[in-house]
Amino acid sequence: MLLDENPSATNQFMYAEGVPFSSIGMASSTWDRRHILSLADFTPLEYDTVLQTAVSFQEVLSRRTKKVPTLQGQVVTNLFFEPSTRTRSSFELAAKRLSADILNFTSGSSSLTKGETILDTAKTYLAMGTDMMVIRHKEAGVPQAIAAEMDRLDVKVSVLNAGDGLHEHPSQALLDLFTICTLLDPEKPHLSLLKGKKIAIVGDILHSRVARSNIWSLTASGAEVHLAGPPTLLPKLFADFVTADGNILHSSPSSLDRKLFLHWSLEPALRDADFVMTLRLQKERMTNHLLPSLREYHHQFGITRERLKFCHPTVKVLHPGPVNRGVEINSDLMDDPQFSLISQQVTSGVAVRMALLYLMGMSRV
């Protein structure tokens, strides 16, 4: 559906100066996902809907008045039970740009310290009229449990997983996808632009929910995804996740021909790669000694200009942040716009999160 085809929707999305919010077709009528919890079962059409919707919001963000009344009167609550800089701020700004009222919960200063359960905290925000909850927690499954409770209560509240333990971080993978696809086609980014591209994901895969979500999205595109890390951070359990010929087990939709490869050294993953995603060493999640030293890790898996010579000449480097400068990536490479998409990822995050809040809002009407 074109937004402009629906008169009531057009009014709702009018920009204050009378400029329509978008004349780009946003296939929101095909969107019926109330919650965004995982990318495991995302379809190519859903990826393309997110990408196209984010382009429209990127256009809004380039205007002088960077705001639309799309979610006016709605309450978005950020429930972050774990520290965050960019994800929480990015959702807050996205909600504000959509004119929602935003509540920010941080666990350290909350009634959790008085013994309140997580579910009761969520219900407290529900009782205040929350329409959408953006949830981060150090345990996998918490956003799913809260979404199930909202469904059981039949309250039509949307839940978005902003990172649950080691499990998934869908909005980060979607903004990574948007960053890459808009580089390839700024006007019409779509999933199949990545078909045949080689993407290396390097580092602490074991502890990375970002890697897990990116594996789903990037393999859905037809790209070849190559994971590289030391055996302690890229354990055999990932080998169980993929079959010997590289296909992911239990992949859904099963029609997708996913290509995923594992390497315990860097060079085969980097060779001719079009994109390299580096991941933070998540020291706070490491329960025992998984690495000899940070220096040794950098020596073996750190991304440097020298190592990028193995890649395709137009290679670009991504990192979800926060970065351990000089560990997973060389410090000046990180700031070099010829190679680094890191600040672009942060910028893209706002438009993509606006798209996700908008689409979840559409699924509830």
Contact positions vs ligand NCD (CB under 6 A): 86-87, 163, 169, 172, 209-210, 280, 282, 320-321
Torsion of CA 44, 188, 193, 241, to 10 degrees: -40
Among 234, 82, 251, 77, which Cα is nearest to 165's? 82
Strand order of the sheet with strand 132-137? Answer: 101-106, 75-80, 132-137, 158-164
Nearer to ligand NCD, 169 or 258 (CB): 169
Nearer to ligand NCD, 209 or 259 (CB): 209
Q: In whole angstroms, how close is the CB of 350 to ligand NCD at the nearest point?
A: 13
In the numeric block, the tokens 């080689």 are attached to: 198
Nearer to ligand NCD, 14 or 323 (CB): 323
Nearer to ligand NCD, 185 or 284 (CB): 284
Q: In whole angstroms, how close is the CB of 354 to ligand NCD at the nearest point?
A: 17
Nearer to ligand NCD, 137 or 209 (CB): 209
Strand partners, 259: 224
* Beta-carbon contacts of residue 30 (< 8 Å; ≥ 6 apart): 45, 46, 49
Helices of type H across the chain: 7-12, 44-61, 86-97, 118-127, 142-153, 170-184, 209-220, 237-241, 267-270, 294-301, 305-308, 331-334, 342-363
Cβ 126 vs Cβ 150: under 8 Å: yes
Nearer to ligand NCD, 269 or 281 (CB): 281
Q: In whole angstroms, how close is the CB of 86 to ligand NCD at the nearest point?
A: 5
State the first-to-last Cα distance of the chain, in angstroms, to the nearest integer. 15
Nearer to ligand NCD, 97 or 169 (CB): 169
Among 196, 50, 35, which Cα is nearest to 131's? 35
Q: In whole angstroms, how close is the CB of 243 to ligand NCD at the nearest point?
A: 27
Buried b (16+ CB within 10 A) or exposed e, 267-288: eebbeebbbbbbbbbbeeeeee
Q: In whole angstroms, how close is the CB of 228 to ligand NCD at the nearest point?
A: 17
DSSP class of 130: -
Q: In whole angstroms, how close is the CB of 209 to ligand NCD at the nearest point?
A: 5
DSSP class of 233: T
Position closest to ligand NCD via CB? 280
Nearer to ligand NCD, 86 or 190 (CB): 86
Q: In whole angstroms, how close is the CB of 135 to ligand NCD at the nearest point?
A: 13
Q: In whole angstroms, how close is the CB of 282 to ligand NCD at the nearest point?
A: 6
What is the rounded CA–CA span in Å between residue 359 and residue 35? 10
